[in-house]
Amino acid sequence: MNTSRMTVDNILDPSYNSSVETLSRFAKALGKRLTISLS
């Protein structure tokens, strides 16, 4: 996984503005699919 500890902490922090690319890489590293829905 080429993700730093700070990146993981930022992704898990709801107040941090994560990009879709960052979330996508994180999901792929975890073996998950990323689904985005607008409500």
Q: Are 26 and 8 in contact (CB under 8 A)?
A: yes
At residue 5, does pLDDT exceed 70? yes
pLDDT of residue 16: 77
pLDDT of residue 3: 64
- 8: phi then psi, degrees, rounded to nearest 5: -60, -45
Alpha-carbon span 37 to 23, nearest angstrom: 14
**Does this model's pTM top 0.75?**
no
pLDDT of residue 39: 64
At residue 13, does pLDDT exceed 70? yes
Burial status of residue 20 (CB atoms within 10 A of its CB: 0-12, 13-18, 19 or more): exposed
* Domains in the chain: boundaries: 1-39
Identity of residue 8: V
